[in-house]
Each structure stands twice: as C-alpha cells, then as structure tokens.
Structure 1
Amino acid sequence: MAGQEASGDPALRRTLSVWSAVGVSVALMAPSMAVNINPQGTAAAVGRAVPLAFLLATVGVLLIAHTFVRLAQRFSHAGSVYAFVGVTLGPRAGSVAGWLNAGTYVFFGAVTATAAGIFLTDLARKVASPNELPDWVAFVSGWLVLAAVWWLAAREIKGGATVLLVTEGLTVMLILVVAAITLGKVIAGHTPGGQHLDMSVFSVAPGTSVSTVFLGIVFGFLSFAGFEAAATLGEETEAPRRNIPRAILGTALFGGMFFVTVTAIEMMAFGTDSAGVAAFAKSDALMGDIAEQYVAPWLSYVIVVGATFSAAACCLASVVGASRLLFALSRDGIGPAALAAVHPRRNIPHVAAAAAVAAVFAIQAIGWVALRARPFDVFSIAATAGTLILLVAYALATLGAVRLLFLARDTQIRKSEVILPLLGLALLGYTLYRNVIPWPHGSAVWGPCLAVAVLVLVVAGVLARPVAAREAGVKLIAQQGF
C-alpha cells in the first residue's frame, strides 16, 4: 500500500473487519442458494451419489484452501490469485490466473443472477400463475436483480457485507431446521413416498463408474466457488495477513460440513430409486420442495425467497470480486486504465464494478437471444465454464505455493506439508481431465467449449503484451514490499 501511494497509483483503504471478509466469501459461496439448485446438475451425472461428489469436492477445496491460507499469510492484494501467482510463478502466469479468476466471477455473476430469476419465477408460478409464466420471465427477473446489484456494488462494501452475512445466515439456519425435521421423519419412516435412511447416497449406483463422479464434482466445486473471495479484499481488510486466512479457512470448513450433510438429506428425502433421482434432478428448488412435502407448504415459499436473496447476494459478491480483480489488473497496466479508477468518496473501483455488471448482462442476453437457451441451460453453461477456468486458476495458485513455500528456503513451513498442495493438484488435474476427455457431446459441450475459448483468449492476450506483463511484475514486487 505504501508503495502504491508513493507512486501515485490508485489505492484502497483498510476499513473492513474480518467479518466483512467472511461476509463476502460466504455470500459468494452462497450455500443456501447452492443446495437448492446446484445438486441437480450433479445428479444428472452421478445419480444418487450426489453427497459423495460433494464430499470429494470438500476434500479438494480444503486442499486448495491450504494453498490460499499459506499465500494469504504472506501477500495482501486486491488481485488475489493474480498477485499470488504473479509473485511466485512470474507476471505472465499471474496475469493469466488473474484474468481467469475475474472471468470466473463474471460467469458466476451470470449464474447467480439467472438463479435468482429462476427462483422468482418458480415462486410466482406456485403462488399466482401456475404453468402460465414463460421461461423468459426468469431472464427479466434476473436483470431486475442485476440492476439492484449494480446499485449496491457502486457503494461501500462494508455495510453491504454485513447485510450479506446476516441474510445468508438466517436462510442457512432455516434450511438446517428443515433438514433436521426432514431427517427425523426419514429415520422414523414418516415419509410421503416410503423414503428411508439410506447411506447408499455415499456410493455410486451399479453400472456407474467411479470416474463418472468427477463429472458431477464440477457442481460440487461450483457450490464452493468463491470461498477464497476474501482474498480480493486484501487491501481493504484490517490485519489482512491474519484475518484473510481465517476467513478463507473458516468458510471452506463450514461449506464442507453444510453441503455434504444437506445434500445427503435431500437425496434421501427424494428417494434413491430411479424415480426419486429423476424428481431430484427436475426440482427448481430442492429445499423448497422438501419443506413443502415434509414440513409445511408455506415454509417452501420462505425458503425460495431466502434462496433468491442468497442468489442476489452471491451475484453482488461476484461483482465485488470481479471488480477488485479488474481494478488490480488495470492498475498494473494489464487492463484498460479506466478500470483502475477509485471513487473519491466511496473507496470502491466503481468503473470496474460497472464493467463487471455489463459483462454479466451480456452473457445472459447472448444465451437467451443468440442461443435461444432456457434459463437453466444458461445457468448450467455459465456454471460449467466458470468452474473449469477457476480450477485452472486454482492449479496455478497451488503450483505457486509449492514453488514459494516448499522449493524455496522458507523455514516457517514444514516441508512435509508439500503433500497437501500436491494432492490438491492431482484432484484438480483429474477433474479437469475427466470433464474434457472424452469430449462431451450435445448441449453438454457448450460449457467446456466456452472455458477453452476463454483460456485461449486470455493466454494469447497476455503473450501478446510481454512488456506490460514485465512491468506488472515489477509493480507487484514493489507493492508486496520485496
């Protein structure tokens, strides 16, 4: 920060507490939204073994969290992965990781704005107009949510982060209450369709290969995506090298316990037979449907409303994360100079935030108008593309951690810890491999194709500007005090 101020570069101020950082990470992870709409994508690939896929995703995320914790203990920068990788593997690799991470947050903005629209449309159909509302209403509803996100993103994040954390916390508590009641009825056998306690949800069904689980694990990683978002507030959080690692690790641990437990209850509540799995995959809001069947119909409306707020909060956190990355990249000369502007009173990169919102809108509009895709198709395509490029950025950060912490002379870290990032790399690598080999067909091809296209464009763009990358590397070193 001192280096930035001395050089005249735009700088952010440290005004956020550890809870603000937790708020952004939890909001971007959006657990109450995720358990309502992400497991359906996993079920399409792995059937009843959704909780198993989420358990494997939890292991992978905790291994990755180790990397982010160790790097955040040494670096505090609005560029997050861009800074982590840039300092450890070099400015070109850092630039690639930074643009990929920014792209991920933009894709997730489209995912969550669309999810909010889907939830609102589902609620309207249940309450007022069953079977009368066309699918495109979800896009329009999502754009109304996106407009509210733009308004909030153009203001200081401190108050917004508190609202994000409180809203998400209340919805998560309600989901846990419904899950506990549902589990009690499943154990007691008081279920609408003869469902019962069935631990087969942690195993693959006959005829399904174990490797297929790694096709469904993408939606598990998607549910966790953003757990590291606190790192983008490294220049705005007090005592960042202590508080940011706490926020990252705490969010990952909570997410793992929540997702594995709730998805297991969800699958058992729907039933592990073919009919139950099919109904599970077709649900527009899993916990809303479970609340309607197992607790009280009116409670399903409350949960869907809560999931809508969760999706909107996640969209806001996505825009916040993307804007900080765009700001950091542009401040160092790798992006347009206009995106490095900081509002003089509100202490936020307002131009970068507007650019992120515009990109989210463009993804949804292209999906609807050009591809004629349904809202859930846009959700799935953007989710797959965003998650795959995020895994590449995670892999680069993990490689950087191995080089810095274990190959260099760092006496603060036990060398035996190297097994953790290496295991993380293996899991990331196999997940990426399994999702592109064999190359998918039909509608499933759009997500991987889009991810490959973004990766190629980012790498080509960075390689075309070697001088800018070198200058950015010099700035990164100076900013971190090396």
Structure 2
Amino acid sequence: MEQQTTPQLRRALGLIGLTLFGLSYMAVGTVFTTYGIVNQITEGRLPLAYVVALITMLFTALSYAAMVRKFPVAGSAYTYVQQSYGGAAGFITGWVLLLDYLFIPMLNFLILGLYVSSQFPSIPMQIPAFGAVLLVYLFNVLGIKLASRFNIATVAISTAVVVAFGILALKLAVNDPNAPGLLEPFLPGAAGFSPILTGAGILALSFLGFDAVSTLSEEARRPNRDIPRAIILTTLIGGGIFIVVSWIGALAYRPENWATVPQDLLDSAGVVLANFVGGPVFGIAMVIATIAGCLGSGLAGQVSVSRILYSMGRDGILPRRFGTLSARYKTPVFSTTIVSLIALSCLFLSLDQVAFMISFGALAAFSMVNLSVIRSYLFPRDGEPARGVLSLIRYGLLPGIGFALSIWLWTSLDPVTWVVGGIWALLGVGILAAKTGFFRRPVPTMDFTEVETEASGEPVSTATGPQHN
C-alpha cells in the first residue's frame, strides 16, 4: 500500500526527447563557452582538442550505455559504481560527480551574465545571472514535460545561430588568401601535444550531455532501449558539431590571433567571433543564442543534479528530505531548491575556475564508470560473468581504453584544480565517516529486483528502497 501512495518519477520521455535533452545539456552553442580559453591554451588548435576529447568520450559513452542497461534507474555514475563496488565507492564517486553537476548550472548562468553584460556594459553580470537562476528553478519544479519542451526550443535557437555562424565563417575563410590550411587546426603547435591534452581535459565538460541522459532512466518510457541509444547519439552528434564549428572558426579567425585577445574578452569569445565574421548585428544574434543555450543547458543541469541528490537521499546517504518528491508536480523540489541556492555562487566565481572544476568531477566519474563495466559484466558480485571473445572486447578492452584515456586527460588538468578537487573528495569521506559511525556501520545502498515494464516488456531493474551491504 505504501508503494502505491508514494510519488514516483513520471515516465514521459522517448528517444527523441532524451537525445534533445542531452544535446540541450551539451548546448550546441557551448563550443563558444570555453572557445577563447582553450584556443589560448592549445595555440589555436581547438578542433584537435575536440577530436581527442570526443574519442575519449565515445569509449566512456559506451560504458554508460552498458551500465544503464543493467541499472536503468536515476543516479548515473553514483548508482553504477555503488552496484559494482559497494556503497562507499558509490558515494565517493557520486560526491565527486556532484562537482561538475553543481558547477554546470553555475557555468551557464555565469556565461549568460557575461554575454548580456558584454552588450550592455551598464548592467552588472550578476543581475541577468540571478534572473536566470530563478527562471530555471521554476521550470525544474513544474515538471519534466515542460522542461523537455523548453529544451527543444533552446536547441532550435542555438542550432540556427551556430549554423549561421558556420556559413558566415566559411564564406570569410574561402575569400581570405591568408587563411590557414584545411588541416592546420588539426595539427599540434610548437609545444606539441601537452597543451592539446590540457585543452581536451577542459573540454570534457562539453560532453556531459550523455551523463545527463543516464540520470533520466526513471523518466524514460523504454529505458533499456532508448537510454543507451540516446547516450551514443548525444555524444556523436554533439561532438561532431563541436569539431565542425571550431574547425570553421579556426579557418576564419587565425589561431595566432587568440594570443592577442584581452583576458576579459576571452570569457565572451563568441561575441568576438560573431562580430568578426558577421558584424555587430550578428554579434547580438550570438548573444541571444547564448542566452537561450545557457538557459536550456542550465535547466538540464539542474534537472540532472536534483535527480542525483534525490537518488542519494532516497538511499539514505544524504538526509531523507533530499529523497522526497512533490506530490503535485512529481519532482524533487527540495533537491532542486538546494541546487538553485548553490548555483547562486555564479555571482562571484570566474569562468576558468568553474570550467576546471567541472572537468575534474566529470573525468573522475567517467573513470569509475569504465571500471564499473569491467566489474559488473566480467567479475560480477552476484550472478554469472559474461563469457566469450566479444564480451571480453565489449566489457573488458573498450572500457579499459576509456578508463586509461579518462585518467590521461584527468592528470592533464591544472594543479590548482587537483587541490580543490582533493579537498572536496576529503569532505565527502568525512561525511561518509560520520554517516557510518567511522565506517563501523554499513553504507546504505539500493536493492534491485527484476520487473517487466508495461511499455516494452523488457526486464529492467527497479529500485525498491535502501538496503545495506
């Protein structure tokens, strides 16, 4: 009887809605988010950095697809690691993953404020940023269907302006006799691959859309089929757009030009590029598209992190209040409120600080998800391991490569990022120690039972409540 009266997340999303949600989270216009910063780091080789990042992310996306088939519930990397390696490892992974999920909305609200302020210098960036936090909070509370419709609109606006930018930049490059060679943006500069890896590590934040899709397993109509497909589609489509747009931009605006751009303009590099290829009018269009993209990505980010907090609260890792849903809207209102309050940090943080921290959390979680595939399929805690050569390749070799590449990019990040990330991880260990009586009590985890879904008849795992291991 209790199960029937407890509010449940509403299954409302199909493959198209899930993919658009992931692309909205990635925000096709996010290619301009770190455009100036990464171009300066990589000596103008942003397209090459995106290629390295996409290859790494594809291996990890395959691991996410494998894990979501086994555990199609809200929680993402936290759930996958928890079920593979136990509650303690799951909590620490989820805790570090919270870094990128908590910072992603901040990043979007920060960029929105910077772009509006670049067009209207008399308006402090904090004012539009604060307005965006409130608007996104409202959409998040009102439900996933409304959020999905909003995401479709923002993806359409962002895509239209990005396509227009590509056409204008390509026209400019074709008519410029001094334009770089077609392959030059894909070749390392004088400093070799080291700055490329640092740039690719930062760009990991651009691919968080597939992780966001995995958090919606309990709101998908056919999670076993559609979530894995949406994860791969989001990665391929988003990565392809990033590479093409950054390549065309590199042909129109020579790589060495980024060394002369003032630091304060690097944070709004999209406006610099738009004014260069299309004049002030197109610069305004770029600001409008950026605002739309930031709102969509900020909304998707808050939806995702509120579901992770909801999952951790439901398991008893965080206070139970986090694991409650609104009886009216069927959304985790308490978790959403906490996330929105934290997002207000965008009013005083800098863009590069936020970007590095997002990538730190993301790459740490990606590494653990890759290891979870190996453990869950080849060395399961319960049940028979997957056998055969194909299984060894799919569940051993591929996630092993994904793990190695993720660690490679992770270690290329700025040293200060490691200090802050390490402090955050230690704080998580402290919370876990307090929750378990300094590890004398077991860590709460979810129990999964096999049921049949009404929509497809596929067996899926459903959380039945917190257990202990």
Q: Compute the displacement of 1:52 (Å).
A: 1.0
SS for the counterpart of 1:154 is helix
1:458 aligned residue: 428
Q: Secondary structure at the match of 2:110?
A: helix
Matched with 2:453 is none
Alignment of 1:328-339 (within 5 A): 328-339=311-322
Deviation at 1:279, TM superposition (A): 3.1
Tell me, yes or no, if the aligned pair for 1:20 and 1:158 is still in contact at 8 Å. Answer: no
Verify: 1:71 aligned to 2:71, yes or no: no
Give the direction of change, closer, same or farther, for the CA distance of 1:295–1:454 in structure 2 (3 Å limit): same
Which secondary structure does the structure 1 equivalent of 2:445 belong to?
helix
Matched, 1:410 2:386: yes
Give the length in aligned residue pairs: 445
Kindly provide the amino acid, as one letter, of the partner of residue 186 in structure 2.
F
Distance 2:259 2:163 in 1: 22
Matched with 2:292 is 309
Q: What do you get for the CA RMSD once the two structures are aligned? A: 2.5
Q: Which has the higher helix share?
A: 1
Structure 2 unpaired stretches of 5+:
451-460, 465-469
Checking the alignment, whether the CA contact within 8 Å between 1:50 and 1:263 is kept in structure 2 is yes
Equivalent residues of 2:82, 2:90 under 8 A apart? yes
Alignment of 1:91-110 (within 5 A): 91-110=87-106
Match of 1:279 in 2: 261
Change beyond 3 A, Cα 1:458–1:153: same
Which residue does the alignment assign to 1:139?
126
Letter in 1 for 2:227: I
Separation of aligned partners in 1, 2:448 and 2:43: 46
Instruction: Give the aligned residue type for 1:427.
Output: L
Counterparts of 1:311-326 in structure 2 under 5 Å? 311-326=294-309
- Show the 5 A alignment for 1:2-41: 5=3, 11-32=8-29, 34-41=30-37
Structure 2 distance, partners of 1:427, 1:471, is 30
Distance 1:456 1:9 in 2: 35
Tell me, yes or no, if the aligned pair for 2:9 and 2:331 is still in contact at 8 Å: yes
Residue type matched to 2:435 in 1?
R
- For the structure 1 residues 272 and 481, does the alpha-carbon distance in structure 2 shift closer, same or farther, using more than 3 Å as the test? closer
Q: Is the 8 A contact 2:26 2:206 kept in 1?
A: yes
Partner residue, 2:397: 419
Any gaps of 5 or more consecutive residues in structure 1?
126-132, 440-444
1:464 deviation in Å?
3.7
Classify 1:280/1:452 alpha carbon distance in 2 versus 1 (closer, same or farther; 3 Å).
same
What whole-Å deviation, never above 9, does each CA across 1:417-472 have from its counterpart, x for those lacking one?
A: 22211111111112222225xx4xxxxx3x43322211111133224433798453
Q: 1:435 to 1:196 in 2, by over 3 A?
A: closer
Distance in 1 separating the partners of 2:70 and 2:136 = 32
* Greater mean deviation of Cα atoms: 70-79 or 16-25: 16-25
The one-letter code sitting in structure 1 at the alignment partner of 2:365 is A
TM-score (norm 1): 0.86
Deviates more, 1:172-181 or 1:408-417: 408-417
The whole-number CA distance in structure 2 between the counterparts of 1:290 and 1:359 is 32
Counterpart of 1:46? 42
CA-to-partner distance for each residue in 1:290-337, whole Å, 9 max, x for gaps? 333323431221121111110111111111111100001001100011
- Give the C-alpha shift of residue 9 in structure 1: 6.2
Change (3 A) 1:14 1:471: farther
Structure 1 counterpart of 2:367: 395
Alpha-carbon distance between aligned partners in 2 of 1:280 and 1:175, rounded to the nearest angstrom: 24
**Matched residue type, 1:415:** L
Cα distance in 2 between the residues matched to 1:463 and 1:476: 25
* 3-state secondary structure, aligned to 1:77: coil
Which amino acid in 2 is paired with 1:379? L
Question: Distance between the aligned counterparts of 2:71 and 2:51, measured in 1?
Answer: 30
Residues 201 and 412 of structure 2 are in contact (CA less than 8 Å); yes or no, is this contact kept in structure 1? no
| Correspondence 1:347 to 2:330 | yes
Task: Answer whether contact 1:93 1:396 (CA < 8 A) is retained.
Answer: no
One-letter amino acid of the counterpart of residue 462, structure 1: L
Counterpart residue number, 1:161 = 148
Match of 2:166 in 1: 179
After superposition, where does 1:350-361 map in structure 2 within 5 Å?
350-361=333-344
- How has the CA–CA distance of structure 1 residues 291 and 212 changed in structure 2, closer, same or farther, with 3 Å as cutoff? closer
Equivalent residue for 1:128? none
Q: Please name the residue that 2:186 is paired with.
A: 202
